[in-house]
Structure 1
Amino acid sequence: MQRLLSDLLSNANSKLSRQSVEATVLAFLALFAVSALRYGVESRTLFIAEMLGIAFCFTGALFASSKTPIISAAVPLVPLVAAFIARFTGSPIAYEMTMLTMLGAAALGMAIGSARTRATSLIASGFLTLFAVAISDSQYAVLIAITWMAGCVWHLVANHWERLDLCAVENVQRSHGVRPASVLAAVVLCGISGWFVRDRFHDSTQLTFGFMPTSGGSKWSDPAARSGVGTGDAAIAARDHAESFGAVESDLFLESTESTLFDMFSDSIGEPKRKMKWERRQGLTAERVLEAHQKTAKSEKGGNSFSIDRMPAEKHLKLKDAVENAVIQWAGPTGIRLAMNRYDSFDGVEWSNSASHRNENLVRQANEGAAWFCDPSLVIRKTGDSQPNTAVNQLKVLRLDSTRLPTPMMTAGLHIKDVDRQDFFAIDDDGCYFMPGREKVPQMTVVNMASQTVLEDVLWEQVSTTDSDEPQEAELADLVESWTADCEHPLEKLHAIVDRLRNEFTFDRTFATDSDTPVSEFLKTKRGGDHLFATTATLMARELGLSSRLVTGFYVRPTAIDVGAGHSNVLPEDVHVWTEIQLADGRWFEIEPTPTFQQPIYRPSMWLVTKRFAAAYWIHGLILLAVLAVLYATRLTWIDLGLGALYPIGSMVWPRGRVSLAMRILQTRAKLAGCPRRPGLPQRDWLLSLTSTHAALRESAGRFCDAADQAAFSSLPGVLHQPSLSNELLMNLNIKTIRRLASEPRS
């Protein structure tokens, strides 16, 4: 066993030369750049297993015999195997990400090979790092490229460039290190160059003269457009990409049965319980009964009401990841909600809408040549403003049998490329956008949406209670009072209600209600679908005196994103119910009371963050101020200790400059003590004059000056191996001693 372990360590040592270690580090850095793109959008369990598999194969190749390179060849096969397993388990990995990971794993395997394979490893890891950084959306991704570049320059200097000067002379003794200076110069040069060319290059204009279909645009006209031969947003629509545009009227591209939002909710949370209305129909003839029945069914399917008293949903075996099953495609952030219907009146079982927000005369606003149609109550702030408060995303309609458009919170305006008609969009009674005069939104229509973002500061300022004339429910009122007993601000009370619902209740769409009062039953069983969570939160908000309403629509799951296509597929089972609260200025913001669904993010301003930090850590701040005051009062002592610790470190890094470093430290101490060396005064004369009143220090200073002269003017290197002279003088001649010597009278 001991011999086997010894052989393994021997094999590892033979492969882990300095060159191999440096190439391995660069390959790991390239893998990290790709992992940053994959980690947030894939199954974390499978991703971690894949990375552990790569590490295991690399370790095996490292400890294996040098005559078995087949283990190194197995390292890049791990991502391929992981891709097959992921697709088999229903969590597919994008082919592009698998290929990039295989390239990084191959670079890792080649890093411990021969000199030729190490060179290939550097090329592969460099290309992979730069490519991953180029396609990343993070502003900090460039730090990975800079780190890789610094490591590569270090590797080249250490293994290639330092050998060039050895070919010219027999012996070289450097006074400065080549590697640190080269790496620092390269990083500084690249940083300055990148800053200089930043935002100075425009998009490519090749192939824009009509030779081939192209796509182009800006943040407002087409956020997903690309220069050159892109996705063809002005050409025919493509089924699998939300970036392509085509407001077509035919069903040529899809072969499926469309369903309304009403049908989707029925499939997901169950059919609404039918109500017997024979009393109203007894006086009608047979023909009028049939006509009334058809009108009732059409009204229900139109989404004018939403019942929370439902039967158990049937279980369906559907493909969760099938693109053909998607209702819409969303090119934007995930974990958000897209509203389709809003309701403000509740009779205990059914929600309906009584408000009138209808507006068919939207404001036309031109932004960078594109025609946007905006809600008059909301303002789109242009790109050139100093503090933009809008985000532009895209929605592509696939199989939505409705004239309504699913829109995110506070959607300020809509835009369709090459469409400039005032009657194309309108706002319905409940405040949702729709296309008037149509039976449904044309399939393959791509709509650009500009929605406002709200700071948390606005919520604290704008959320206010009002007196309500609605009858109070004793059960809800008692619960609200007990849940919000320790809160003062209305927003704090609202957060307390949401936290209780998310932490103490269980989300279960299969749980059927048997009572005629679904809300009361939900409060007792603490289990139900998202429609019961949202209804309870809406009613409790009204108990606080807040204006609230129920919203139905779609939830964009974080796991639904298609990395390769750049959008998320929203399926019929992604229907969702949530709550909106009205601000004092008339706008509405969302709350998410249902667990397992991400809550909306309202970012605080820096001023609010500062106030919260000060309120939470004011005691720590006082302690820190006291510590800083003590450090400032004793600053000379700490600086003196730091200068003393600098000498042994600097003498190891720069051995030939040991004497010069000691003299600089002494001059810095004298300057801090208030008696700096006068310009033009030789260092020997200054140092001997400073120590003239102390015989031992004067003798030590004399020996130090002799050693310094020998190092400067003699070819004998002996002084390099006598650091005791500098150590002795630096230990005895500190700031306190220099200040005392300067104050003593001289003869």
Structure 2
Amino acid sequence: MQPWSRKRIETLLLALLAIASLVPLRFYVESRQWFVAEMATLVTVSAVAIVVQLSSGPREKLSRLVIPAAMLLGCTPIGFAIVARAFGSPIAFEMSALTVFGAVSLAMATSATTDRIRSLALILSGFLVLFCASISDDRFAIVFPLLWILICVWHLVANHWERLDLAMPAAVERHWALQPTVLVMMVLVLGATVFSIKDAVWKSNRLAGGFMPASGGSVWSDPAARDGVGTGDAAIAAKDHAESFGAVDSDLFLESTESTLFDMFNDMIGEPKKLRNKWERRQAMGNENMIPTHEQAAKSEQGGGTFSTERVPPKKHRHFDDASEDSVVQWDGPTGIRLAMHRYDTFDGHDWSQSADLKRDALTRVDINRASWFFDPVMRIFQRSNADATSVGLLKVLRLDSQRIPAPMMTVGVHIKDIDRQDFFGISRDGSFYMPGREKVPPLTVVHVASVKTMEDEIRTHLVAKSASRPVEKLDDRLAPSAASDLDALVRNATAHHSHPADQLNACVAILRNEFTLDRSVEQTATSVEQFLRTRRGGDHLFATTAALLARRLGLTSRLVTGFYVRPDAFDFAAGHASVLPRDVHVWAEVQLDDGRWIEIEPTPGYRAPVYSPSWGLLARRSAAASWPYFLIGTFVLAVGYLTRLTWMDWMLSAVWRFGRPLRPRRRIRLAIQIIEWRARLSGKRRPIGKSQRVWLEELTRADAMIADAARQFANSADTVFFGQVDETTMKAETRLVDLLHVRTITTLTKEATS
């Protein structure tokens, strides 16, 4: 038996596919360095086993490799789990156990010497692929079992066909189109089956009894449930007890010392400048009533009512010296995103404020998995039409003195465990979720936040600039003329080669991200929009303000957003959440679509831009529009190549023969007969199975006496090489026949023989 037969290769592919099915379960939740190192170790050990096999001689020596290879590969995941935990990057034990299955299957496929061991490797890989698909929440997890089934069907059909060849060599003829035909039929059957049962089976509660530790929860209960029971709040709420998050009925701390978002901005970018001739709009208050609580409330209201783009150097505040945990909030969900708290739609050249009243206290209650969710009635329409794109994250409020709930873009609903009263939640004036009637969200409260993803196709469809009959709002009249002219110049440069509003907006944002510099140092940076456009250096609030103003010059409705940025490197796998710190306060902008939705734009360099995935259709159209000349050239080349395939393939075979002339006589004879058979296949005259080469060559060359004589000399020289001594005449016979029997010559001989 050959050490690397087709059976062995196909079994190895199935084992590698089983290992690949673990990637969606592990890659995005574990330390990527440890995961890559573990997979690289498995591949390296398998490659060493393959090299040792190929260099081994008898089958008895080869069989000794099976047990050591299986033990070494099987112990690799266990060893990595122990070492990773020692270094503070724990790997879930159930994931290590599943990886052991894949490693043992890979070891058996690599070092198997019998069909029984290969069959066992096949069974292990199939179990792992199906099990990983059954516990995964990814809707694309079904791809791995489908690929495994297709390769397995190919494997079984090929084995069955080989057995028929061995049983009836004279009656069975190979046909290259059989296996692809069976494969295509299987794809159609599997696709039709999945489509027919997707609505009947997909909504079942998979492994709800907790068969595996990672099997609990759902997209609506939490993304981090690990025990199969409950909603998984313990994954982010506490370390000692599952129910130790703050009750919403806790007492209010009127004399709060916790920082507001306004205080954090002052720490990062400085206090707002006080404008001259600006009358105090508050009623005078006696000294006896000026207590710290009122001062704190004034700051909170000022931070939520307006946002100034002109700042003075920040003072060093120390709000968290007495705290063991600096986190403002903790987030269990995708990182590299923004959590919004305040939104402003009106800009007077210096300050942002909120003019539109989007307040809604009556939210829509929907019970999902026996949990009460409260939806924005406007966004609920988009969520129901695109339910598959809904994602849920967990937010734990720690030290944020605000009644607002930090939420990602396109948030549609919120849920707090055991809270079913509708008056606990509402939509504030600027469209943000908040808890009415409270000074702040109680500390340690865990909030489930549901948001809807937006596709790039939707943005390109619904991002429409206002027509000439509807002029853009002039909300920046107080902006200096030099700043306005600089903004117009930026828009002209960015949109010179773009016509669609989405492309124009992306071009404007790209200029800010690539040609401007983020610098929060007040000594070196700008403190107003005019200075920012002149120096091209400033804080993120100036980047966001400029982006919003550029969007308005494109005819789009925009607004400013303040909140927090969840850094990509902030997720702690051991803790199960990402910590958001006071230094993570951030400012960005939003643009409105014509259907009422708001999408984020991130103009500040160094911050990850929001991801809007395009559909396959959009990718195809974009690729065709960008590379249609190459597509035409490629189509022409393929057409010419197909029409001239007999000629250039014949040339390639002639080149192979010329490079193979230095081979030994026996190898050269084999190469010559293989080249002749390949040329016969190209001309449609395949050698029948069971017919000897001599008889076949005589029948093939019967129509031409000269070529028939060369074929007889070739057959005689082949017999002499294998059964006698080699002379110069023998070495020239195969060269003569190969030079005479070209593809077109065989085609001509076939036509003459049939006529």
TM-score, normalisation: structure 2: 0.67
Partner of 1:312: 313
Q: Which structure 1 segments of 5+ residues have no match?
A: 1-25, 48-95, 162-177
Letter in 1 for 2:568: P
Q: Which structure 2 segments of 5+ residues have no match?
A: 1-14, 52-63, 85-89, 136-205
Kindly tell me: are residues 129 and 296 of structure 1, through their superposed partners in 2, closer, same or farther at Cα, counting changes over 3 Å? closer
2:30 touches 2:91 (CA, 8 Å); kept in 1?
Answer: no
Counterparts of residues 392-471 of structure 1 (less than 5 Å): 392-466=392-466, 467-470=471-474
Q: Does 686-695 or 660-669 show the bigger shift? A: 660-669
Whether 1:479 aligns to 2:486 is yes
Partner of 1:558: 568
2:236 touches 2:576 (CA, 8 Å); kept in 1?
Answer: no
Return the offset for 1:560: 1.2
Partner of 2:368: 367
1:463 touches 1:491 (CA, 8 Å); kept in 2?
Answer: yes
Residue deviations 1:122-144, cap 9 Å, x none?
A: 44325468999xx999xxx9999
Partner of 2:748: 740
Partner of 2:76: 125
Partner of 1:630: 640
1:581 touches 1:590 (CA, 8 Å); kept in 2?
Answer: yes
Letter in 2 for 1:495: N
- The whole-number CA distance in structure 2 between the counterparts of 1:191 and 1:503 is 47
Partner of 2:111: 156
DSSP-derived class of the 2:379 partner? coil
Residue deviations 1:454-482, cap 9 Å, x none?
A: 12222222222231342645334422332
Q: Does 97-106 or 664-673 show the bigger shift? A: 97-106
Whether 1:489 aligns to 2:506 is no
Return the offset for 1:431: 0.3
1:402 touches 1:439 (CA, 8 Å); kept in 2?
Answer: yes
Residue deviations 1:201-223, cap 9 Å, x none?
A: 74262599xxxx99942111122
Partner of 1:609: 619
Residue deviations 1:293-352, cap 9 Å, x none?
A: 9878634422212222222113579999x9710011111111111000011122332222
DSSP-derived class of the 1:534 partner? helix
- The whole-number CA distance in structure 2 between the counterparts of 1:319 and 1:582 is 37
DSSP-derived class of the 1:740 partner? helix
Kindly tell me: are residues 218 and 727 of structure 1, through their superposed partners in 2, closer, same or farther at Cα, counting changes over 3 Å? farther
Aligned-residue CA RMSD (Å): 5.5
- The whole-number CA distance in structure 2 between the counterparts of 1:505 and 1:311 is 21
1:215 touches 1:233 (CA, 8 Å); kept in 2?
Answer: no
Whether 1:326 aligns to 2:314 is no
2:74 touches 2:103 (CA, 8 Å); kept in 1?
Answer: no
1:235 touches 1:246 (CA, 8 Å); kept in 2?
Answer: no
Letter in 2 for 1:205: G
2:42 touches 2:103 (CA, 8 Å); kept in 1?
Answer: no
- The whole-number CA distance in structure 1 between the counterparts of 2:632 and 2:236 is 66
Counterparts of residues 707-726 of structure 1 (less than 5 Å): none
Letter in 2 for 1:434: Y
Q: Identity over aligned residues, as a percent?
A: 44
TM-score, normalisation: structure 1: 0.68
Whether 1:347 aligns to 2:352 is no
- The whole-number CA distance in structure 2 between the counterparts of 1:281 and 1:669 is 94
1:338 touches 1:409 (CA, 8 Å); kept in 2?
Answer: yes
Q: Does 533-542 or 182-191 show the bigger shift? A: 182-191
- The whole-number CA distance in structure 1 between the counterparts of 2:372 and 2:749 is 81
Kindly tell me: are residues 603 and 644 of structure 1, through their superposed partners in 2, closer, same or farther at Cα, counting changes over 3 Å? same
2:98 touches 2:128 (CA, 8 Å); kept in 1?
Answer: no
Partner of 2:542: 532
Return the offset for 1:359: 0.9
DSSP-derived class of the 2:424 partner? coil
Partner of 2:604: 594
Return the offset for 1:742: 2.3
Letter in 2 for 1:324: E
Partner of 1:511: 522
- The whole-number CA distance in structure 2 between the counterparts of 1:130 and 1:723 is 63
1:463 touches 1:583 (CA, 8 Å); kept in 2?
Answer: yes
Kindly tell me: are residues 221 and 662 of structure 1, through their superposed partners in 2, closer, same or farther at Cα, counting changes over 3 Å? farther
Residue deviations 1:564-601, cap 9 Å, x none?
A: 22321000111111111111111111111222111112
**Residue in structure 1 matching 2:594, options 564, 584, 587:** 584
Letter in 2 for 1:458: E
Kindly tell me: are residues 228 and 143 of structure 1, through their superposed partners in 2, closer, same or farther at Cα, counting changes over 3 Å? closer
Counterparts of residues 369-388 of structure 1 (less than 5 Å): 369-379=370-380, 388=388
Return the offset for 1:623: 1.5
Partner of 2:11: none
Residue deviations 1:180-211, cap 9 Å, x none?
A: x9998777666655555564574262599xxx
Whether 1:573 aligns to 2:577 is no
Kindly tell me: are residues 727 and 362 of structure 1, through their superposed partners in 2, closer, same or farther at Cα, counting changes over 3 Å? farther
